[in-house]
Structure 1
Amino acid sequence: MKALIYSTKEFEKASLQNANQQKHDITITGKPLNMDTVKMAEGFDVVVLFTNDDASEPVLRALNDLGVKYVATRSVGVDHINLKVAAELGIRVANVPHYSPNSVAEHTVALMMALNRKLIMADTKAHNYQFDLSSLIGFDMYQKTVGIIGLGTIGKVVADILKGFGCKLLVFDKYAEEADDYEGVTFVTLNELLATSDIITLHAPLTEETKYMITKEQIDKMKTGVMLINTSRGGLVKTEDVLQGLRDGKIGYLGLDVYENERGIFFKNHFETEGRDELLTDLLNFNNVIITGHQAFLTQEALTNIADKTIQNLDEWQLGTPEECNAKVGKIHPLEELQ
């Protein structure tokens, strides 16, 4: 198949080329898919996207006019693709239903530990040859209550890691099987999780149901000084309300790998003279906030898994007609975690 791969980063190229083995005629571009770049897809059977590409209705209609009949995304999440319009146009959509869940789960716990033990501040102080410890007090993870919202593949790995710390684990996920099928966690209502957790970590997809599932209303129910972690999708939290929670001291620690306005910001460097996102800049001014640029997935194992499954989707499309082909979006429940 002839495929145009948008938003390709240098670190992805080798994995994609190794997975392809010259089976498909692939063209790689670092440009994102949007209305300005959609014309690049003329003459291609497939476009391959990443999380911050724009596959909204106007873009999909433009792709359809160009003859593109397949859209593959190098992610589990499909919130950047208008699936209803794609189905209407007969455009087949495929994602990567699973890839190394350890990559995201380990990054999630790394954010917890870095915030707890104030590692960024400690490193900065050490580089300035300052070794006073008074501002670096953390807490034991042992016996702390961690609330996990979304017990999908990644959420379960997070739970397994935290079991090793001796944490008490609460779970809210109305689509997951009950605790009898997954030992060491207690299933609770969202309100109970919010009210009793010392740490809350989000592992849900971004859907109409989960959009802004964390707002001032939910933050007000949390413990004062709570740690909030989001390595899933930025739109799960209303960032303005989180910022106010930080200012009020209600949120004591914030770790983000995703940001609701990250499109056009993450995945590239910016010059000092460029306009800055005011909300993101305000968050970065807090020393109890750590933000990473959507890198939780970024391990060699995950890159290999993503590339292999992406090429496999092209293989399946090539072997069958659109109606017969197996490549499709993996089953997604509203509270199954995605990356």
Structure 2
Amino acid sequence: MEIVAYGVLADEEPLLRKAFEEAFADRHELRCLGLFLDRDTVATALGYEVVLSCVNDTLDAEVLRALADGGTRMIAQRSTGYNNIDLDAAEKFGLTVARVSSYSPHSVAEFAWALALAVNRRIVRATHRTRDFDFRLDGLMGRDLHGLTAGVVGTGKIGAVFARIAHGFGMRLLGWDVAENPDCQALGMEYVPRERLFAEADLVSLHVPLLPDTHHLVDAGALALMKDDAILVNSSRGGLVDTDALLETLRAGRLSGVGLDVYEEEAGVFFLDKSLEVMADERLARLMTFSNVLVTSHQAYFTRDAVSQIARTTVSNVGDYVAARTGENTLVKPATT
């Protein structure tokens, strides 16, 4: 069987190939492509029964129809999120869809803390200065995290790890989620209404999936509730934050720091080299002008441990498809079941 993978990163490919070799030996042929799957590139999937997609692919109804017409029968998404896939259309066209329901929560939680610490202690600004042999401390003052309040929005696996690290710093914990996590409560976390969390937290970190109910969860109203010197970190999905409202907040001189590993219009930008182009996205360009904002390119998950686990789970999902099995990772069941 021929399999094609889209959006494969240079550091990811050997781990993906290793997982396929260990599971299938040479029974299946894997082709890895760096380009993203969308309406312009879907023709390259012609004849491939299985497609391995990534979070920045565009799998709308038009693309899914073209995949099905070209002989594709299974899509294995190499991520937890799947808001880029039209599942109703996939079912209509008889496409099996699976995802990676979980991987190392430490990768994302630790990176969220890296962002928080970097903006709090002005690490990026300090590094730029010292590279120019400017060793002044003016404008680099941060705050002790000990004794401050961490607001964890979403207390699943990743949020719980983030909370444990916050507990290690000696922070007070506030949480908001549809279901309370006993592990977080054991750390002393108090579950409160979302509005109270935004109002009382010195650090707000987002760890919820992007759903219709969570789209622009951090909007103008939520930002207005936050303390002027609060820190906001988003390592989950870009659409959780209303970028226009965030820009207005920053223009007003509010928020001590913002760490963003995701951006709501990141598709077609993140994972690509845009250094020789004019940045057409004015909102992203504007975000970059604020010295208290740190933007990274959706790399929170990008550790050897997490990517290896994603690769192994993706291979397992392909194996389930070949054996006509379904499991917890299956989003759309095979048309024959």
Return 5+ residue gaps in structure 1 as ranges. 332-339
Q: Deviations over 1:200-246 (max 9, x none)?
A: 01011111111111111111111112111000000001101101111
Q: For the Cα contact (< 8 Å) 1:246–1:252, is it kept in 2?
A: no
Structure 1 residue 207 corresponds to structure 2 residue 208: no
CA RMSD of aligned residues (A): 1.7
Scaled by the length of structure 2, what TM-score is found? 0.93
Q: Which residue of 1 aligns with 2:327?
A: 326
Q: How many residues of Structure 1 are paired with residues of Structure 2 in the alignment?
A: 328
Q: What amino acid does structure 2 have at the position aligned with 1:36? A: D
Q: Distance in 1 between matches of 2:264 and 2:184?
A: 35
**1:250-269 map, 5 Å:** 250-269=254-273
Q: Where does residue 7 of structure 2 map in the other structure?
A: 7
Cα distance in 2 for residues equivalent to 1:273 and 1:254: 25
Identify if the C-alpha distance between structure 1 residues 78 and 273 changes in structure 2 by more than 3 Å, giving closer, same or farther. closer
Q: Does 1:244 align with 2:245?
A: no
**Residue correspondence of structure 1 range 294-305 to structure 2 within 5 A:** 294-305=298-309
8 A Cα contact 2:97 2:331, kept in partner? no
Among residues 62, 72, 76, which one is paired with 2:76 in the alignment?
A: 72
1:62 aligns with 2:58: no
Separation in 1, partners of 2:222, 2:312: 39
Match of 2:174, SS? strand
The TM-score, its normalising length taken from structure 1, stands at: 0.93
C-alpha displacement at 1:65, in angstroms?
A: 1.4
1:284 aligns with 2:288: yes
Say if 2:170 is the partner of 1:174. no
In 2, distance between residues paired with 1:298 and 1:179? 25
* Equivalent residue, structure 1, for 2:129: 125
Distance of 1:213 and 1:93 partners within structure 2: 27
Match of 1:335 in 2: none
Output the CA distance in 1 between the equivalents of 2:184 and 2:18. 42
Match of 1:307 in 2: 311
CA–CA separation in structure 2 for the residues paired with 1:51 and 1:180? 29
CA pair 327-156 structure 1, distance change in 2 beyond 3 A: closer
Q: What does 1:77-226 align with in structure 2 at a 5 Å threshold?
A: 77-177=81-181, 182-226=186-230
Distance 1:23 1:165 in 2: 50
| Percent of paired sites with the same residue | 37
The residue type equivalent to 1:127 in the other structure is R
Shift of 1:129: 1.5
1:134 CA drift (Å): 2.3
What is the distance in 2 between the residues matched to 1:126 and 1:200?
29
Query: Which whole-Å CA distance do the structure 2 matches of 1:278 and 1:220 have between them?
Result: 23
Say which is worse superposed, 179-188 or 103-112, in terms of deviation.
179-188
The one-letter code sitting in structure 1 at the alignment partner of 2:37 is L
Question: Which digits, 9 at most, give the CA deviation of each residue in 1:62-106, with x for residues without a partner?
Answer: 111112111111100011111122122221111111111111111
Q: Equivalents in 2 of 1:23, 1:105: separation in Å?
A: 37
Instruction: State the Cα deviation string for residues 152-194 of structure 1 (Å, max 9, x = none).
Output: 1110110111111001111100134457864321111101101
Whether the aligned pair in 2 keeps the contact of 1:233 and 1:260 (CA below 8 Å) is yes
1:213–1:329 Cα change, 3 Å = farther
Q: Distance in 2 between matches of 1:104 and 1:171?
A: 18
Partner of 2:236: 232
Relative to structure 1, the CA distance from residue 65 to residue 205 in structure 2 (aligned partners, 3 Å threshold; closer, same or farther) is same
